[in-house]
Amino acid sequence: MSHACLAPIAWERLVDYWAGDLDRAAIDDVEEHLFGCETCSLESARVARIAQALRTAIPPVVTLEQTAELRSRGLVVEENRFEPNERREVVFGRGVDILIHRLGGMDLSSAERVRVDVRIESTGQLVFEEHFAPFDRERGEVLIACQRHFAALPPDVAFEVSVFEPDGRTSAASFMVPHVFVP
């Protein structure tokens, strides 16, 4: 029979615990309480599941290092490259976990920041925007991680990449990437 905790650990403290943001003394205090408190242990397990989901989530715009890490986790990653104003259909085939769209052909050598907007090509509807997208300055690329659950979106996707220079100049490139998802 479980009893309500008389001094529950604050949710924020559990988040800090699972994020590794507590010092050794605070960790010891939390763990001692969790060892003897079923109510807080259940809540801690819930926070741990959320933390794990966030750790394994794949952002829509990734770096080369993140792409390598996805492969090291055993995910099947296929890549394709696009140039500005190119329109080419891609197939998300069976057995593929992630498609990496290498949006290239841009001068990012002096970029201060890059913004990526993902839109439905036929309607212009904004699906996602990343105002501070990671980018590869030397290769002139932005890497988009297309995931299988994106099959729920309309298939005609367009990526708009805006490049912001330190002197205030901006440039933009569009990439049209219709998707076919094979179940």
The CATH number of the domain holding residue 104 is: 2.60.40.10
| Range of weakest confidence among 21-25, 100-104, 129-133 | 21-25
Number of H-type helices and E-type strands within the chain: 4, 9
pTM for this one? 0.72
Q: Is residue 116 part of a domain?
A: yes
Give all strands (DSSP E) within 35-84, no chain letters: 61-62, 77-82
Q: Is residue 3 part of a domain?
A: no
Q: Are residues 90 and 158 in the same domain?
A: yes
- Statement: residue 1 has pLDDT above 80: no
Convert the pLDDT of each residue in 113-155 to its tens digit: 999 999 999 999 999 999 999 999 999 999 999 988 788 888 9
Residue 60: name the closest of 149, 121, 124, 120 by CA: 149
Residue 73 — pLDDT band, cuts 50, 70, 90? confident
Q: Are residues 125 and 139 in the same domain?
A: yes
